[in-house]
């Protein structure tokens, strides 16, 4: 963060550090234990010695040449390696060469208590700069008449992207009909905003969701997408955005955490610090040193060392990184991988802090921070904002920070507030005046209400009325425009207007305030930084490369034992097999580059982010990426060639071995470069995989093996010369078949030439080197293309928003009538009345009120290996210890505790959601022992992660839950009424037709998702509801809406328990009872809250030593502070033991005793069936949901239909009328090649594309299965069945397009077989994809397993090696391979009964006979083939259903 300060701050920091250094040294020498006592223990004699030592050291530095002096400083030398060991003294060291341990010890010495010591450090830095009279650079950001508009697409009916809607849109776009339909419209996001963000002042940005906060921050940081239209002026120190480099002059901290998961926290910050450079710090330090030398000032040695160490450009590891790690509290996880959903890494809160640290580690002076506190508890947020406040106030930096639910103490750290609503700035002025402003408008903040919460609710139409304070006149809704007008008329509004009228004097701008150069490092330094990172990432991804190499070894072993030399001879017939083995080698090495697609796409988001922030240009990333893949390509091609060359029995000359190795190496390089290039164009996984598959298909078809060049239509033969595989095929075949052993004469030519001619590859030996040159040219072109794509394309923006015409009209009407208050009176009053009426007379289904009592609950897990390695001896780790308590009907209970106290663990144990560990103790429901099967029927669990099917609407999600969870006795009409009632209670009416979407990508916001989770559980009419952190990640207004919904639920007499982090005062006091836990899973309080939290405050204040709560302080924050582990240590107390010795504990034991006894005349819960609905209803409901989900997945279903259509057309054109011209064996090979290509590529595409779809739905299945909604078999069969219509359409399209174009026989029998074999082929490939997902924990591993199976399906399909040629030790694989049965059925049904004579390998025989002799295909065997083709998909589908039921990869 001090980097933000720039050069001036660093001088004062050095002075501070010297003083801290002196006091720390005196502390070490006097063996003082606390940092606070450092300054007090300071013997005079030691101080004199220190000063003499420092003076001598400083004199030595002053004698050094300038370039050495600027990197030399006095540094402590310790006796030992650990911080705190005795310091020997100071020594002159080169600070550019400090080791990791030295940097860590230095920062530990400087900063013990983060807030206090960071403040002192910055103050001393400022003092040093001020002492020599240097002015610090500052940035003032102005925005005038700022308007931002985005384009949206209006659709008739519901704005849902169905297959039909998407297809229509594509047709309209391609035929330009969209212009006629005028379906596009513009929506204003920010409307005429004016203001000044001043340096040296902390500015808070507040506003409800969708108010335009993020767009506003992006606009000020010049980071808005080019797809939105920006009007008005934004200037930094009077300079327009196009006059300097705003991306380097300001730092935008995104609310989305985007990092490379394989890097550690320290490595991420080091790379950022290296690329962002040190700004003007080095220049400032030179100026300070010069002026100090002139004035004879000796700076504090530690401060001097800090300033010098943070002013050196291009260091691989910087002291600044250690400083940022320390002040953000990331030092404890500095060497932990960032991680992602697959790799275990840092927590969400730590990731959020890393996102902040990545930007503030640079030297920027203007900060725009977007919701940086999401996922952080209030104490951590306070600490981080406090550090930023010190930085802003002391170094005159500029900061605009948006927060969701700032606690009162955090809110008080800010100087100014910008309040936004509906894209307008309602207030922009001092924090101290804002409450007075709203009081003038007639609204008063209640005494125990957080100011930030009040501000966000007072501008909301639904919440405004409760704060009306004027007794003279009745309340009427005050619109945003009315507030805006009042602000313009108030003194601060007038003052702002006057300031904006005076233009900023550019001459007052410091020369170092703004950045005019795009990159901080030289080209060579940028290249080195990116190359170092790529080497690191290759090491971290070594498993992938080892796995690929191992896979290649296995495939090579199988291939060489299939094409084994003992079964191969040097003749025309076996020449065909040799040709097949060479082509198979090419395919393997071509497809081996395919994983580069997903690896590149996974990195693109971070690369684009860092490129946009001017960390590096595109070439600095692409060149290292390409260079570092060379050793990999060498290894892969070497493995394949060395294993297979002599075993398969190619020509034995050593020169030909190396030539084959060289060509395969270059083919692999070409493949990797090509897929990287495709990824850079497509940018998303789905699009890249589709484009990659199409590319492989085209490259293979035009490669000259599946259909030789002479057989291609003459106008398409150019495709042969532009396919990289062609040159691989020419090079390999020329190298092999022009060898001496193939020089025997046969039919006026050599054997080798005869084989080459039959395949249309009759080229001379020099074509080998032409092929090498052509492939190298392809490599260069693909890598240049990759660089250009990253340079000129932007990161993939979200597609245009779809909006219904009704919603659009409503928005337009709102904009027109916003100024009129009278128009708004009726709707508000009407809405309030309607709400009351509905809730009074709302439909409430009968449910049994049930209490949950638990006694002495313990929970153990196996001790993690890391803990055992650190010396923890116990085999089991206890996470819950002696938990006794109860939840009662109509009572809202809060579960609280610090992070890691066991709140969610307790909830999971009580709900029966744990999948591992040992549970002990007694849990009773309604007085009877808990039985999990029946408990799932009467309880609901709102998980912390809101998991829902993305492609169904809010109303359909609630409807699906009601259909399967309400008793079958309730009729459909009542269910619909109840669903509507729940939707209204949870306030989801306005979004009930919206798609749920994927979290943080599309669909609902976090708060809407949270409410949907509650609605889905509430509609089951449970007696007991558990909610895990229902308000985390929400802003104050959204949290209030959720809590209002929760209170409504409690009001119906249900039992509700919620875990909460650190809520606002009014939210905390909306609970009735509290269960408070401490680290280690022990109870420290269980009882009522009392009015204004009086009971719980009284309990803790009665404990000796506990400090009293301050006025208007948040009781939940105070309670966690006074019971923290450090407070326990300081007071010498154990709050858990105090609770066990209290009268309250005895009362709770008695209460639990009573609730553990069944009430008189009560019965234990009993249900006749395991599920509320029978198997048929479960299947129907699952099929209904899957149908909606599939119909609304154009990226999945429409893409594969288009893929099949386009590919079929390509097959038809390329193999035009080949099915009719059967005169030689090559004609049969051509037709078989067409069948093989279609079966393989359609199958692989379906298998690959189904993986992410099923994986997404499986995570929803885990939640719904725990809730007892349906049997896994019902889900599995619905999933299997819903694929059939889409696969049927694909098979029909294939037959309709290819059958006539290839010129097959027009017989109904043969047409049916063509359709039937393709349909069954698609079925089992699709079900194979589902099966791999069910067998693996995540989609990444599933795709690896699936791709491994493709190589075997390919080899044993009967295309490369016919059945009769496969060695007997592998023949079982041929029969196991489903594709061999498909190809057998396709070819045999078409030609197995054709008795036309053809020339086959210099013999005359019928087509039917050739199929029998060469392939082993018999027409009489078709009946068996038909049965096997039906059985295989059925078997795979049953296996999928069995694995879904039996395997659970969710770990809880």
pLDDT of residue 598: 80
Cα distance between residue 140 and residue 538, in whole Å: 43
Q: What backbone torsions phi and psi does residue 785 show, to the nearest 5 degrees?
A: -60, -40
pLDDT of residue 88: 57
Q: Is the pLDDT of residue 42 over 50?
A: no
Q: Is the pLDDT of residue 705 over 50?
A: yes
Residue 402 pairs in a beta bridge with: 205, 370
Instruction: Report, as an integer, the average pLDDT of 47-59.
Output: 66
CB-based contacts of 59: which residues, under 8 Å, 6+ apart?
none
SS3 category, 865: helix
Cα distance between residue 1413 and residue 1403, in whole Å: 12
Residue 895 pairs in a beta bridge with: 1059, 1075
Cα distance between residue 1394 and residue 1406, in whole Å: 7
What percent of the chain stands above pLDDT 70? 88
- Quick check: 215 and 224 in contact, CB under 8 A? yes
Each residue's pLDDT tens digit, 1313-1325: 999 999 999 999 9
Region of 649 (left: φ > 0; alpha: ψ -120 to 50; beta: rest) is left
Q: Which CA distances in Å does 1122 have to 296, 378, 686, 1103?
A: 50, 15, 52, 11
Each residue's pLDDT tens digit, 727-764: 999 999 999 888 888 888 776 788 888 888 888 888 88
**Beta-carbon-side half-sphere exposure of residue 293 (alpha carbons within 13 Å):** 14
More confident residue, 834 or 645: 645
- Quick check: 1194 and 166 in contact, CB under 8 A? yes
- Quick check: 562 and 1367 in contact, CB under 8 A? yes
What percent of the chain stands above pLDDT 90? 25
Q: Which CA distances in Å does 1224 have to 417, 1111, 1144, 1164, 1229?
A: 84, 97, 95, 80, 9
- Quick check: 1183 and 953 in contact, CB under 8 A? no
- Quick check: 1404 and 1353 in contact, CB under 8 A? no
CA dihedral 325, 329, 332, 334 (to 10 degrees): -30
CA dihedral 98, 104, 108, 113 (to 10 degrees): 130
Residue 511's pLDDT band, with cuts at 50, 70 and 90, is confident
Please give, one letter per residue, the 3-state secondary structure of 137-190: CCCCEEEEEEEEEEEEEEECCCCCCCHHHHHHHHHHHHCCHHHHHCCEEEEEEE
Is this prediction's pTM over 0.85?
no
* Count of other CB atoms within 10 angstroms of residue 196: 18
Cα distance between residue 1151 and residue 1053, in whole Å: 19
Residue 3's pLDDT band, with cuts at 50, 70 and 90, is very low
Residue spans of beta strands (DSSP E) within 1316-1416: 1397-1400, 1403-1406
Each residue's pLDDT tens digit, 763-786: 888 999 999 999 999 999 999 999
DSSP symbols for 492-519: HHHHHHHHHHSPP-GGGS-TTTS--SS-
SS3 category, 29: helix
Q: What backbone torsions phi and psi does residue 953 show, to the nearest 5 degrees?
A: -80, 170
Q: Is the pLDDT of residue 822 over 50?
A: no
Cα distance between residue 1367 and residue 396, in whole Å: 79
Cα distance between residue 603 and residue 38, in whole Å: 48
SS3 category, 530: helix
Residue 622's pLDDT band, with cuts at 50, 70 and 90, is very high
pLDDT of residue 829: 34
pLDDT of residue 798: 53
pLDDT of residue 865: 66
pLDDT of residue 727: 93
Instruction: Report, as an integer, the average pLDDT of 688-717.
Output: 87
Each residue's pLDDT tens digit, 322-333: 888 888 888 888
Cα distance between residue 385 and residue 390, in whole Å: 9
Burial letters for 1271-1285: b for 16+ Cβ neighbours within 10 Å, e otherwise?
Answer: bbbbbbbbbbebbee
Q: How many residues does the chain have?
A: 1452
Each residue's pLDDT tens digit, 23-36: 434 333 333 333 33
Residue entry with tokens 């003459």? 714
Each residue's pLDDT tens digit, 639-648: 999 999 888 8
Structure-block tokens of residue 771: 């092929």
CB-based contacts of 1242: which residues, under 8 Å, 6+ apart?
1203, 1204, 1207, 1290, 1294, 1318, 1321, 1322, 1325
CB-based contacts of 524: which residues, under 8 Å, 6+ apart?
none
Structure-block tokens of residue 753: 């030439």
Mean pLDDT of the chain: 82
């Amino acid at each position: 963060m001090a980097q933000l300060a720039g050069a001036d701050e660093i001088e004062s920091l050095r002075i501070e550090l010297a003083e801290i250094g002196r006091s720390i040294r005196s502390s070490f020498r006097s063996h003082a234990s606390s940092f606070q006592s450092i300054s007090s223990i300071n013997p005079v004699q030691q101080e004199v010695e220190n000063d003499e030592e420092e003076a001598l050291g400083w004199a030595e530095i002053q004698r050094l040449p300038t370039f050495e002096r600027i990197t030399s400083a006095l540094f402590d030398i310790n006796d030992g390696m650990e911080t705190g060991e005795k310091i020997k003294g100071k020594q002159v060291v080169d600070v550019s060469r400090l080791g990791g341990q030295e940097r860590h010890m230095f920062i530990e010495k400087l900063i013990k208590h983060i807030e206090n010591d960071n403040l002192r450090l910055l103050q001393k830095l400022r003092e040093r700069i001020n002492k020599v009279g240097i002015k610090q650079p500052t940035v003032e950001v102005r925005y005038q008449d700022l308007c931002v508009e985005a384009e949206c697409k209006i659709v008739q009916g519901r704005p849902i992207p169905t297959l039909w809607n998407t297809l229509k849109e594509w047709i309209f776009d391609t035929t330009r009909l969209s212009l006629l339909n005028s379906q596009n419209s513009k929506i204003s996001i920010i409307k005429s905003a004016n203001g000044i963000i001043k340096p040296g002042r902390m500015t808070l940005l507040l506003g409800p969701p969708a108010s335009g906060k993020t767009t506003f921050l992006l606009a000020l940081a010049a980071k808005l997408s080019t797809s939105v239209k920006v009007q008005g002026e934004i200037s930094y120190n009077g300079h327009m955005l196009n006059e300097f480099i705003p991306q380097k002059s300001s730092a935008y901290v995104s609310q989305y955490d985007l990092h490379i998961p394989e890097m550690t926290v320290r490595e991420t910050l080091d790379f950022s610090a290296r690329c962002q450079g040190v700004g003007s710090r080095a220049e400032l330090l030179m100026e300070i040193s010069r002026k100090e030398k002139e004035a004879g000032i000796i700076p504090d040695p530690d401060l001097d060392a800090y300033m010098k160490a943070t002013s050196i450009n291009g260091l691989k590891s910087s002291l600044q990184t250690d400083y940022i790690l320390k002040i953000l509290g990331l030092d404890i996880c500095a060497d932990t991988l960032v991680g992602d959903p697959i790799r275990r890494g840092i927590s969400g809160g730590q990731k959020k802090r890393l996102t902040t640290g990545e930007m503030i580690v640079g030297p920027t002076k203007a900060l725009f921070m977007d919701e940086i506190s999401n996922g952080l508890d209030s104490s951590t947020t306070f600490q981080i904002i406090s550090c930023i406040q010190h930085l802003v106030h002391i170094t005159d930096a500029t900061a605009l920070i948006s927060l969701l639910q700032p606690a009162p103490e955090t809110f008080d750290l800010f100087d100014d507030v910008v309040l936004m609503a509906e894209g307008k700035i309602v207030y922009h002025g001092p924090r101290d005046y804002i409450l007075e402003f709203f009081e003038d408008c007639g609204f008063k903040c209640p005494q125990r209400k957080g100011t930030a919460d009040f501000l966000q609710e007072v501008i909301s139409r639904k919440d405004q009325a409760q704060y009306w304070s004027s007794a003279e006149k009745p309340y009427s809704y005050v619109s945003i425009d009315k507030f805006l007008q009042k602000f313009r008329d108030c003194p601060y509004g007038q003052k702002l207007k006057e300031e904006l009228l005076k233009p900023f004097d550019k001459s007052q701008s410091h020369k170092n305030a703004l950045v005019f150069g795009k990159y901080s490092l030289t080209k060579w330094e940028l290249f080195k930084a990116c190359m170092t990172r790529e080497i690191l990432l290759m090491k971290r991804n070594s498993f992938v490369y080892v796995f690929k190499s191992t896979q290649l070894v296995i495939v090579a072993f199988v291939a060489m034992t299939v094409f084994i030399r003992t079964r191969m001879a040097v003749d025309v017939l076996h020449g065909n097999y040799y040709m097949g083995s060479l082509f198979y080698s090419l395919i393997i090495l071509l497809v081996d580059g395919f994983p580069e697609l997903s690896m590149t796409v996974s990195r693109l988001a971070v690369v684009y982010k860092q490129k946009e922030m001017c960390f590096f240009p595109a070439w600095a990333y692409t060149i290292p990426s390409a260079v570092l893949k060379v050793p990999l390509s060498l290894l892969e091609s070497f493995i394949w060639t060395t294993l297979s060359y002599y075993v398969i029995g190619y020509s034995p000359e050593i020169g030909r071995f190396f030539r084959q190795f060289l060509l395969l190496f270059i083919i692999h390089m070409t493949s990797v470069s090509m897929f990287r290039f495709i990824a850079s164009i497509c940018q998303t996984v789905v699009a890249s995989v589709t484009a990659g598959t199409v590319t492989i298909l085209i490259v293979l078809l035009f490669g000259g093996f599946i259909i030789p060049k002479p057989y291609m239509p003459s106008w398409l033969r150019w495709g042969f010369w532009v396919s990289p595989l062609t040159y691989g095929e020419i090079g390999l075949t020329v190298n092999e078949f022009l060898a001496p052993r193939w020089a025997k004469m046969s039919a006026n030519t050599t054997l080798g030439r005869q084989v080459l001619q039959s395949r249309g590859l009759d080229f001379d030996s020099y074509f080998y080197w032409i092929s090498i040159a052509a492939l190298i040219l392809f490599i260069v072109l693909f890598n240049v293309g990759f660089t250009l794509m990253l340079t000129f394309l932007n990161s993939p923006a979200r597609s245009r928003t779809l909006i219904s015409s009704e919603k659009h009209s409503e928005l337009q009407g709102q904009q027109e009538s916003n100024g009129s208050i009278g128009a708004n009176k009726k709707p508000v009053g009407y809405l309030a009345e309607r709400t009351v009426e509905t809730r009074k007379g709302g439909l409430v289904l009968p449910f049994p009120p049930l209490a949950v009592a638990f006694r002495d609950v313990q929970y153990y897990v196996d001790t993690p290996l890391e803990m055992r390695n650190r010396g923890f001896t116990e085999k089991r780790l206890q996470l819950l210890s002696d938990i006794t308590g109860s939840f009662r009907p109509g009572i809202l209970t809060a579960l609280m505790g610090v992070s890691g106290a066991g709140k969610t663990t307790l909830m999971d144990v009580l709900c029966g959601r744990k999948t591992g560990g040992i549970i002990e103790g007694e849990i009773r429901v309604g007085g009877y022992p808990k039985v999990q099967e029946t408990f799932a029927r009467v309880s609901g669990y709102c998980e912390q992660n809101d998991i829902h099917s993305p492609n169904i609407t809010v109303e359909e999600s609630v409807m699906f839950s009601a259909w399967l969870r309400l008793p079958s006795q309730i009729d459909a009409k009542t269910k619909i009424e109840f669903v509507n009632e729940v939707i209204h209670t949870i306030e989801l009416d306005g979004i009930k037709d919206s798609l749920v979407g994927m979290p943080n990508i599309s669909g609902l916001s976090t708060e809407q998702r949270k409410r949907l989770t509650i609605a889905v559980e509430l509609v089951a009419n449970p007696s007991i509801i558990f909610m895990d952190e229902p308000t985390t990640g929400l802003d104050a207004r959204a949290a209030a809406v959720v809590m209002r919904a929760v209170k409504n639920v409690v009001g119906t007499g249900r039992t509700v328990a919620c875990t909460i982090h650190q809520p606002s005062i009014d939210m905390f006091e909306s609970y009735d009872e509290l269960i408070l836990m401490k680290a280690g899973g022990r109870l420290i309080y269980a009882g009522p809250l009392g009015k204004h939290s009086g009971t719980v405050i009284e309990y803790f204040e009665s404990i000796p030593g506990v400090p009293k709560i301050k006025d208007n302080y948040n009781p939940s924050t105070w309670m966690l502070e006074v019971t923290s582990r450090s407070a326990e240590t300081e007071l010498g107390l154990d709050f858990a033991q105090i609770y066990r010795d209290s009268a309250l504990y005895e009362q709770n034991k008695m209460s639990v005793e009573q609730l553990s006894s069944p009430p008189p005349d009560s019965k234990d819960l009993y249900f006749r069936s395991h599920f509320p609905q029978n198997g048929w209803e479960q299947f129907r409901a699952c099929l209904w949901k899957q149908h909606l989900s599939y119909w609304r997945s154009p990226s999945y279903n429409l893409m594969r239909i288009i893929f099949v259509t386009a590919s079929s057309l390509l097959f038809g054109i390329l193999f035009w009328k080949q099915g009719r011209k059967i005169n030689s064996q090559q004609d049969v090979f051509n037709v078989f090649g067409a069948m093989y290509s279609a079966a393989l590529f359609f199958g692989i595409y379906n298998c690959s594309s189904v993986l992410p779809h099923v994986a997404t739905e499986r995570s929803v299945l885990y939640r719904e299965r725990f809730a007892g909604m349906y049997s896994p078999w019902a889900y599995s069969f619905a999933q299997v069945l819903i694929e059939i219509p889409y696969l049927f359409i694909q098979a029909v399209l294939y037959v309709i397009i290819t059958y006539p174009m290839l010129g097959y026989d027009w017989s109904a029998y043969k047409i049916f077989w063509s359709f039937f074999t393709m349909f069954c082929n698609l079925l089992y490939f699709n079900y194979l994809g589902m099966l791999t997902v069910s067998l693996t924990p995540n989609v990444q591993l599933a795709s690896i397993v699936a791709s491994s199976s493709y190589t075997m399906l390919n080899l044993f399909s009967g295309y490369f090696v016919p059945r009769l040629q496969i060695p007997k030790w592998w023949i079982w694989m041929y029969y196991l391979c489903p594709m061999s049965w498909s190809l057998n059925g396709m070819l045999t049904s078409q030609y197995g009964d054709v008795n036309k004579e053809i020339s086959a390998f210099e013999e005359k025989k019928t087509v039917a006979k050739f199929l029998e002799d060469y392939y082993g295909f018999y027409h009489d065997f078709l009946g068996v083939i038909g049965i096997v083709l039906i059985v295989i998909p059925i078997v795979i589908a049953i296996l999928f259903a069995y694995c879904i039921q039996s395997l659970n990869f969710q770990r809880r």
